[in-house]
């Protein structure tokens, strides 16, 4: 079955440093979605990527979908303490509603 790995599992950065998390799938994806979960909270939808090679930006966040549609990345420029949380990717495979989340990357930002 489909497997989705995210790396790294944990990342501690100094405030102001950049951060990147990568999501890798064993199969070709239709779409990929990214979520953020604050400690104690529920996942919040951030963005959906659909096209091969697509790049989308949300302020300091840059999302990228690989050319082969098997991987994706989330990059945060100049992290802030408000960026703390766990970032999950969640791919969509055509023809199924079985929606699986990646393993997540937990980000800590040190002030």
Partner 1 sequence: DGGITQSPKYLFRKEGQNVTLSCEQNLNHDAMYWYRQDPGQGLRLIYYSQIVNDFQKGDIAEGYSVSREKKESFPLTVTSAQKNPTAFYLCASSIGATPGHFGDGTRLSIL
* Token code pair at residue 64: 């990228």
- Quote the least distance from Cβ 41 to partner 1, whole Å: 8
Chain residues binding partner 1 by CB under 8 A are 31, 33, 41-45, 48, 88, 90, 92, 96-104, 106
- Closest CB to partner 1 among 16 and 38? 38
Q: Residue 74 CA to chain centroid, in angstroms?
A: 5
Distance CA(89)–CA(103), nearest Å, equals 8
Query: Which is closer to partner 1, CB of 99 or CB of 110?
Result: 99
């Amino acid at each position: 079955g489909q497997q989705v790995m995210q790396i790294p599992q944990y990342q501690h950065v100094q405030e102001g440093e950049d951060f990147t998390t990568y999501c890798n799938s064993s199969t070709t994806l239709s779409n990929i979605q990214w979520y953020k979960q604050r400690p104690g909270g529920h996942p919040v939808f951030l963005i959906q990527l659909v096209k091969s090679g697509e790049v989308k930006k949300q302020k300091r966040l840059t999302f990228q979908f690989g050319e082969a549609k098997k991987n994706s990345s989330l990059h945060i420029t100049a992290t802030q303490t408000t960026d703390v949380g766990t970032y999950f990717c969640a791919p969509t495979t055509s023809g199924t509603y079985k929606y699986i989340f990646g393993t997540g990357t937990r980000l800590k930002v040190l002030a």
